[in-house]
Every structure is written in structure tokens, then in C-alpha cells.
Structure 1
Amino acid sequence: MAIQTEALSKQYNGKGGCQNITLQVPKGVVYGFIGPNGAGKSTFVRTLLGLLRPTGGKAELLGKPLGDLEARRKIGYLPELFRYPDWLTGLQLLHTHADLLGLKSSLRPQHFTALLEKVCLSGREKEKIAKYSKGMQQRIGLACALLGDPELIFLDEPTSALDPLGRMEVRSLLAQLKQEGRTVFLNSHLLQEIETVCDQVAIIDQGKLITQGDWRKLCRFQNRYKLIASGLDQEVLSDLPYVIGSELRQNFEPEAGTALKAEWQIEIENTEELPSLVRILSDHGIGVYELTPLEPHLEEIFLYWMNRKEPENVDHR
């Protein structure tokens, strides 16, 4: 495991922070850590990084206990509220971080060039950070986080200051890091970003872990389908076997010479009955234009678990 915690806690005078967080993050994944503002996400990350001392529990990073120097050398970090000396150039900032890492001078030019290309800052490294936009500062921060060739990377809201193109480039970078076998622990309020790049997530609220695992398996919406059909109404749907729930989502204007089409969202009891369902619809004179499975969105799943307001100890991997 890249990260493994057991009842890890960090509270302030017995309040706030994070409480009894037990989770496992496999190596080589992009792992999403999500929750509302003030849920304890940043406290948890800072505790893992040794910036805060835990008040309870234990944890390992890359198989080593918290604070192990060997493990720390293999970790990169981009905080949400970063601030770099704006009188430095981007290149000088990289040299400063390289000094802290003990990176040999002879290795720096090639390493810096590759990093600047990765974060799309090639040609801008000699400009002062004071002239960088917030998005460019975030990019140079990403380069610093990746400077030590880390195995485990913590990114706190890495796309918050980026435009849509910049977010797309960061998503591509995260996919590349995953392909290289690195582990990325990603804090973000942008659920669409998490959904795009992460296979596994943990949801935290009020300092407590609500659930974790493959986010598609955290869903409690089973066997949902989009059905586009003509001549169908709620009464007919209610009488159909196998259908256990339905909702009209949209009506369509009829084309010349055709019946009114409508989009329904239906829930069926057993996917093996889909051929029979289509046949029954046809026997009723219903025109079926489309019947496709509906994949859940992370936002739906997040809201589902937040509304439950009760932690679950099941790991849905």
C-alpha cells in the first residue's frame, strides 16, 4: 500500500480536525479525497506529511511509519495555499527546491527541461514569479512537487486556479503519472475532475470517514437505463413486468409523420430481462429508439453518502 492508516486522528483541544480515519490507498492509482469545506481533508493530509502531529492512531507511507526520512524523500506535495517568493524566477525556484532535495547540479538541466514540459511552462522559466498568473504559479508548484521524482504525490486542489485548457492538461499529467506507476493523493472540490481521473475515492465529512473504494461501486442506484420511446406513458410503464421505477425526463417535438418521443429513466429488476422488456414494449405498439445503461456520476454518489450522514466501514474495492 502507498498509504495505510488505522484510526488516525488529529484534533484541536479534542475538537475538529479528523477522527479515526482508517483507509488504504494502493500503489499506482490516482486516489480522490473529497468532502465539503471544513471536513478535515487538509488536516488529514498535513498529518500524513508530518506537518501536524497526530493525536491518535497510526499510519504508514510507502510501507514506512510517519516521519520516516527514507519515505519522505519519495514524497511530493503541492499545498492548496501555496506562496512562492515572487522575486525569484521559475527556474530559480526549481534550483531552490533542488538544493533542498540535494539534487546534483549535473542532473538539473535535463530534469528541469522535462518537468517544465510536463507542466506546460517551457519558455517561461526565466520570468519572475511576480509576473506569473495564478495558474502559472500553480504549474510551477506542480513542477516543484514532482522535482524529486516522487513515488507518492499529494496534490491539494491542483486545478483550482486553472482555466478549462489547463485543467485538461493537468488531467493528462495525472494519467501520465499513473501510467508511470506513481501514486497521487488528490484533494479537490471539483467532483467532475475527480470522476475523470480517479478510480478510487474516500468521502469525509465532519472529520469522519463516510466511505471509501471504487467510486462506481459506492453507488446504490442499480440497473438504471435511459429509454427513448414513442407512444409510452406512465400507466403503461407501471404495468410492465421487470420495471420497478420510472421517471419522465424529457419530451421531444415530433418529427413530421412521427409520434411524440419521450426520454424516460427506468429502473429494472434484472438486466437479463431486457430482451423481454423490449419485446413487450413492441407488442404494446411502443416505438423503442434507444435503451442504454445509465452510469452514475460522482456528484450523485457524493450527495447520496452525504445525505446518509452515517459512516460505513465497508471498503467497496
Structure 2
Amino acid sequence: MNVIQTNSLTKTYDGKGGISDVTLSIGEGIVYGFLGPNGSGKSTFVRTLLGLLQPTSGEGFILGEPIGTTKSREQVGYLPELFRYPDWLTGKQLLDSHAELCKIPVRQRNKRIEEVIELVGMTGKERGRISGFSKGMSQRIGLACAILNDPKVIFLDEPTSALDPIGRKDVRNLMGYLRDQGKTVFLNSHLLHEVESLCDQVSIIHEGEMIVQGPWRELMMTEAQVEVVTAGSIGAPFPSFVTSYHTVKAEEGRMRWLIQLESESDIPKILHYLSSQKIDVFEVKPIIPHLEDVFMHWVNQKKESAYVDNR
């Protein structure tokens, strides 16, 4: 079953901005990264899914229920990017009020509140007033509210933006925990290095349009890079499956090469070639692309395509 499904979902403002024609399917038990620069339409898309904005066209479903309905929101948790809570309340009082809104039985409330306070790293601080919370603590209490009703789907919009390195690690651990519990975490973020280790699949959007989606490690260009350390220089020209190469550095009689290949399957070929040339090889290291590399590749490709179309 798809936890989140959209078909050509569009939300524009007088025909401009927002998001356009987004179609995706998201299963259960994954962290799904919805990635794009600031202003690319990420928050608009989430608010449309949650029924906070009326779609211009298209359709969407959460847990099989049409977006915008009460049933589609019953099993959902949400942490907006910009939020404010009544600052005269304590963290515990805020969670009590949310528990009442979520209709958590009275006998279960204290236990559940204690659980989420521990999960977000606020144990011992929940009785302080929100007015005295730092940005990081406010973010943590917001996360606690988002997961209080034990939702099946959690939407997090830039959840690490106000946190220090320890807090960001805590949030990554929490998202991993939720995923391991079978939850689906829909993560809006532009901090790619923060989510690279967590996201199973991603969508990349730019200026409101979906560029590409899928398992992010499979979205990189077909070419592969490999770093090779050899004894001395390589005299003969490289074979045709090497699309480019250059020396990175030379040290103690050894040469370090960065070699671009047509595909990952050519890595054994370059080793065979160097061996046939009687060149000693000390090290071979494939260059694994990061999520940021994947993101920039597709965004730049989109920009180049738009430039050509507008000429």
C-alpha cells in the first residue's frame, strides 16, 4: 500500500509559484526526502497534502484517503518549518493540550507524554515555560507534538534548521527510530548532508517542478569516477572507455589519478589495462557520489535545459 500518493498535484497562486504537476508514490517504513532550494515549493506541497491549502488541480491520497479530509489527517504528525506555541505554557502543558486534541485517553496520556519527551531529548526540561526555551528546545517540543499521537506518517519541514550539531544528530536518530518502527517520514530539507544517510528515496524539485525521483544513489549520472595511485606516470594513452583523466597529486614517486569512466562496470577494466601496461597499482578507490552531488547534477541539468528552451 502506498502511504502517500499524488497524481499531477498542482497548487499555484494566480497561476504562479507553488508546485506543478507532482506525481509520486511513497511506501511505508521509509524516510523520503523532498529536496529543493528555499522557495522551490516544498512547504506548499506539504501544506497541500495536509489539506491546509486547496489544490489547484490533480489529486492526492494519504493512507488511501483523499487529502483534505479528516480521515487523511488522523494518522498524520506534522512539524511546520515556522511555528509558534503559546509561550506562557510549559512544555508539559503544551503536550497535555495536544494529547486532548488527539483524543488520547486520559489514562494513557502521562505515559505517552513521558515517552515522547524522552525520544526528543527533553527529559527534565518539560516543565519549563516555552517563553524560556532556546530555538533548539522549541524545535524539540515541536517534534514531540508531531509524534505524540503515534502517527503512521510524519511530515517534517526543515526539522534541523534551529539545532546545534548534537541536536541535529538527535533528530537524525529519531527519524531512524521512526523508520524502524514502520513509520513513513516525509522530510522537507535543503540541508542535503544532514539527510544523506537517512533518506531511502528522494524527489528533487526546482522552481515548483519535479525534476527527478527515486533511490538517490541510483539517480547519479551513469559515468563513474575512480581514484588510482600508481608507481610513476602512465606513459601510454588510456583506452576509449576512459572519458577523462587528470593527475590529482604526486608524492614519493607515486602518482594519484582521478579517472572518469563510462560506467561503474569499467572499474575492473582499468585495473586490467594498468596491469597489461606493467604499471604497479597501490590503491584503487571508487569515488562515491554524495546526495549533494546528485542534487546539483539534476538541478544544473534542469537549468541548462531551460536555457536552451528559452533561446
Normalising by structure 2, we get a TM-score of 0.92
**Residues 1:243 and 1:148: Cα distance change in structure 2 (over 3 Å):** same
Question: What do residues 163-197 of structure 1 show as CA deviations (whole Å, max 9, x unaligned)?
Answer: 11111111111111111000000001100122111
Correspondence for 2:309: none
Moved over 4 A (4+): 269-276
Shift in alpha-carbon separation, 1:246–1:169, aligned structure 2, 3 A: same
Shift of 1:290: 1.1
When residues 285 and 109 of structure 1 are mapped into structure 2, their CA distance, relative to the original with a 3 A threshold, is: same
Q: Does structure 2 retain, via aligned residues, the 8 Å contact 1:210–1:310?
A: no
- Cα RMSD over matched residues? 2.0
User: How far off is 1:278 after superposition?
Assistant: 2.8
Structure 2 residue aligned with 1:263: 256
Task: Say which SS state the counterpart of residue 249 (structure 2) adopts.
Answer: strand
Distance 1:77 1:276, change over 3 A: closer
**How many residues are aligned here?**
304
Matched residue, 2:296: 303
Q: For residues 47 and 228 of structure 1, do their structure 2 counterparts lie closer, same or farther at Cα, with a shift above 3 Å needed?
A: same
Q: Does the aligned pair in 1 maintain the 2:61–2:72 contact within 8 Å? A: no
The code of the aligned residue for 2:245 comes to S
CA distance change for structure 1 residues 186 and 214 in 2, over 3 Å: closer, same or farther?
same
- The runs of 5 or more residues in structure 1 that have no matched partner are 313-317
Seen in structure 2, the aligned counterparts of structure 1 residues 81 and 269 have a Cα distance that, compared at 3 Å, is closer
Matches within 5 A, 1:271-286: 274-275=267-268, 277-286=270-279
**What SS does the aligned partner of 1:168 have?**
helix
Partner of 1:58, secondary structure, is: strand
What percentage of residue pairs aligned between the two structures are identical? 49
Residue-by-residue CA offset, 1:96-154 (whole Å, 9 max, x unaligned): 11111111221011111111111000010001111111011101100000011000000
Question: SS at the partner of 2:19?
Answer: strand
**In the alignment, is the contact (CA less than 8 A) between 1:49 and 1:67 conserved in 2?**
yes
Gap runs ≥5 in structure 2: 306-311
Structure 1 residues 310 and 65: CA distance shift in structure 2, 3 A: farther
Q: Secondary structure at the match of 1:196?
A: coil
> Is contact 1:209-1:311 (8 Å) kept?
no
* Aligned counterpart, 1:246: 245
Task: Please list, as runs of the form range in 1=range in 2, the aligned pairs for 1:1-317 lying within 5 A after superposition.
Answer: 1-233=2-234, 236=236, 238-240=237-239, 242-248=241-247, 250-254=248-252, 259=253, 261-269=254-262, 274-275=267-268, 277-309=270-302
TM-score for both structures, normalised by structure 1: 0.90
Where 1:94 maps in the other structure, the secondary structure is helix
